Every structure is written in structure tokens, then in C-alpha cells.
Amino acid sequence: MSRPAQDECYDHPSYWDLSFRSETKLEADFIEQACRKYVTFPCRRLLEPGCGGGRLVVELAARGYAVRGFDNNPVSIDYLRRRLRRRSLTANLHVQDMTDFEFPEPCDAAYCTFNTFRHLTTEAAARAHLVAIARNLVPGGIYILGFHLIPLDAEETSIERWTARHGSAKVTTTMRVTAFDRRQRIERLKFSLRVRSGSRDLRIASEYPYRLYTAAQFRSLLKSVPKLDLLDVYDFWYDIDHPLKLDNQLSDAVFILRKK
């Protein structure tokens, strides 16, 4: 049976994470590679802000890391606790805002790989997040930050659709740009999930504002956070041997930032 959408997508972390499940191993492998390449000491303590349902928290905890994750959605954190318990894994989890956090023990590396950063829709919020990241990193630790840049000639309307399956569950995700304002530096993205599993047919839809960044705008933001240095930039192919140039041609960006 089918019912109309009532909850937002992030209130269904199992389906949201399934939608991006195919990226998990690639991202986790890159996090390990970046730690080996850019950090001069062994990385054991990892931090994920905006961890959602925790697909990377679970993967990296299973690889033996001490992971701390937080999100402002308690539904996601509760789901992640159950998920870790089922697999006999542990992680430190918190319901926490991305702009103001401080934990008792600093981490060796932090990561936020796929556009969560762009939920911070003002310059002040984005800067506060980066300052908090620096505060929670040991000197020489790195922040792996991934999000879409907007090339100067980018199309202002787009739609993407993909399907993910696991067991009997099938999730079809449609992402559509519903509004785009370069002057205000905001675009609105609507995510529509259709979940089919056995007799269940569930439709969920949510729309979120995201901050827009050109390469120059992100460079300008980084200049306001002197504790973090930009080391290299990659794209979503995660090829650790081939860093890229940060310019107006790059759209899928993964930044390696290091605390001084």
C-alpha cells in the first residue's frame, strides 16, 4: 500500500543511507588513504559531523577506528545506535549542531564527504563550523570536506535519479533543483524517495536550502579560518594519486584541510 509523504527524508535514515550505500566503501577507502598521505602520525580517532544514519561511522568502526559522530537529528542518531549494537560495534554519538561543538578528546582526522556542509546557509555558520573543526583536531590533523562547487557556467536547473537495492528493499531517489539564486548564494534541492519493499510502497519528499560556492568563494571562506591550511583537492572519483586544481572547472570537490 502507498501513503503520502509526511516525514522529511532525514527521518528515514535507513532509506536515506541505502540511497548512498554504493559510495560508502569508496569514501572510507579514501579517508584511510588521505590519513596515510597527509598525517605524519597514525590516525585512530575520527570525527564525523552531520553523520546522519551513520553509513561511514559503521564502516570505519568496523575497520577498527575510534569514531565519534554527531547529527542534529535525534531520529538518525537513535537509528545509528541500534545499527551499531546489531553489529557489536561502538562509537561515541551525540545530538549536536554543526556550528558549535567541542569534545573532551581531539580527533586525528575529521570527514564530511557529501554536501552536508552546504546545509550551513550563511557565511557565519560555515565559518563557525570550520573554526569548531579546527578546535577539535590535534595539530597536524586533517579535515576531509566534500561538496559540490558551482562552476561559473553551471546550469541553474537539473534533475538526477538513481536506484539502490539491498535485500528486498528498493529505493529510487530523485534530486531536483527547484530554485537557484547566485546573488543570495542559495539553491533549493528537492529529494523524493520512493521505497518499495514487499507490499510496502512509501513515498517521502523533502526540500532543503543549500549554500552555493564557487572556487573563489570557498578560498575566501578558508582565509577567514587561519588555523586550517588547504593542502590538496580531489573530486568524487577519490583518486588519491591525482590531486586536482581548484578552479572554475571543478564541480565535485573533496578538500584536504590540515590544522596548523
pLDDT in tens, 106-158: 999 999 999 999 999 999 999 999 999 999 999 999 999 999 999 888 888 89
In this structure, the answer to whether residues 87 and 199 fall within a common structural domain is no
Reading phi first (left if > 0) and then psi (alpha if -120 to 50, else beta), residue 185 is in left
User: Other CB atoms closer than 10 Å to residue 39's CB: what's the count?
Assistant: 16
Q: What is the pLDDT of residue 157?
A: 86
- Please check whether residue 4 lies inside any domain of the structure: no
Instruction: Provide the pLDDT for residue 2.
Output: 38
Residues 245 and 118 in one domain: yes
Whether 2 is in a domain gets the answer no
Please count the other Cβ atoms lying within 10 Å of the Cβ belonging to residue 104: 6
Same domain, 27 and 51: yes
Q: pLDDT > 90: what percent of the chain? A: 93
The reply to whether 201 and 99 lie within a common domain is no
Range of the domain at 158: 152-211
Determine the residue type at 105: E
* Residue-averaged pLDDT of the chain: 95
Do residues 87 and 185 both lie within one domain?
no
* pLDDT for the residue numbered 153: 83
pLDDT at 103 over 50: yes
User: Contact, 256 vs 233, CB < 8 A?
Assistant: yes
Domains of the chain: total: 2
- Edge-first strand order for the sheet with 186-197 is 2-3, 200-211, 186-197, 169-181, 159-166
Check whether 219 has a pLDDT greater than 70.
Answer: yes
Beta strands in 198-238 (DSSP E): 200-211, 228-234
Secondary structure letter of residue 87 according to DSSP:
T
* Residues 113 and 39 grouped into a single domain: yes
- Report the alpha-carbon distance of residue 50 to residue 113 in Å, rounded: 10
> pLDDT > 70: what percent of the chain?
97
- Are residues 103 and 207 both part of a single domain? no
Q: pLDDT value at position 7?
A: 67
Please give the grid coordinates belonging to residue 47: 570525527
Q: What is the C-alpha separation between 199 and 183, in angstroms, rounded?
A: 46
158-169: per-residue pLDDT in tens? 999 999 999 999
Query: What is the pTM (predicted TM-score) of this model?
Result: 0.96
Q: Write down which residue in 211, 233, 251 finishes a domain.
A: 211
The verdict on residue 1 lying in a domain is no
pLDDT tens, residue by residue, 41-88: 999 999 999 999 999 999 999 999 999 999 999 999 999 999 999 999
Residue 64 lies in a domain: yes
Residues 184 and 157 in one domain: yes
